[in-house]
Amino acid sequence: MRALIKYQPDHVLNYIDTVVDKLLKCSRNSAYEVVHTAERALENIVSNLDPARCFQTLIPYLNRSHFEDENSLSIVLSALRTLVKLVGRVPASDLSASLSSIMPCIFQTVKQSSVDMRKATVFVIVEIYCVLREAMAPYLLQLNPTQLKLVTIYIERKGLPLPLQEK
């Protein structure tokens, strides 16, 4: 499946929603190899197919109903990891319009006990900041000082101007 998506992406074009759903559900599997392969296939999808459509397909997996159990949290984690790879390709207008639906999940996942979840969340925030810059400032203000410091460290590493700096 992964090779098909990478080398013949047009074959899954009409089935993006279904393929993404099935690959995200693979993250419920406890075997590292299964989860890793599914995430690489998701990466191939978001790298080779229409970014706006992929983005709209991923958004429903970032809603609060997926925080009910550990299995659903693994789906959110895979969706976040995929989103990191996708955000830079999404048109800024689409990303900006979706912030109100994405950010509640972001604020919830950044508080999770799982280090992997928090790390993926920080990377998503940084990638969104790379695209939207100062439009992200109101959302960054909602992070606690420790979270904001971590986000600014990664933004600095990308060589971007720091958010919320005194001018």
- Residue pLDDT, tens place only, 84-95: 999 999 999 999
- The proportion of the chain whose per-residue pLDDT surpasses 90, expressed as a percent, equals 66
Distance CA 2, CA 4 (A): 5
Distance CA 167, CA 156 (A): 17
Of the candidates 80, 45, 42, the one whose C-alpha atom is nearest the C-alpha of residue 59 is: 80
Task: Decide: 110 and 104 in contact? Cβ < 8 Å.
Answer: no
Rounded to an integer, what is the distance from CA 148 to the centroid of its chain? 18
Q: What is the pTM of this model?
A: 0.90
Distance CA 22, CA 75 (A): 10
Of the candidates 165, 100, 158, 79, the one whose C-alpha atom is nearest the C-alpha of residue 148 is: 165
Q: Which residue has the higher pLDDT, 66 or 38?
A: 38
Which residues 6+ apart lie within 8 Å of 47 measured at CB?
85, 89
Distance CA 119, CA 80 (A): 10
Of the candidates 43, 118, 141, the one whose C-alpha atom is nearest the C-alpha of residue 88 is: 43
Which residues 6+ apart lie within 8 Å of 105 measured at CB?
62, 63, 64, 76
Distance CA 43, CA 65 (A): 24
Band of residue 68 on the pLDDT scale cut at 50, 70, 90: low
Check whether 70 has a pLDDT greater than 90: no
**pLDDT value at position 72?**
82
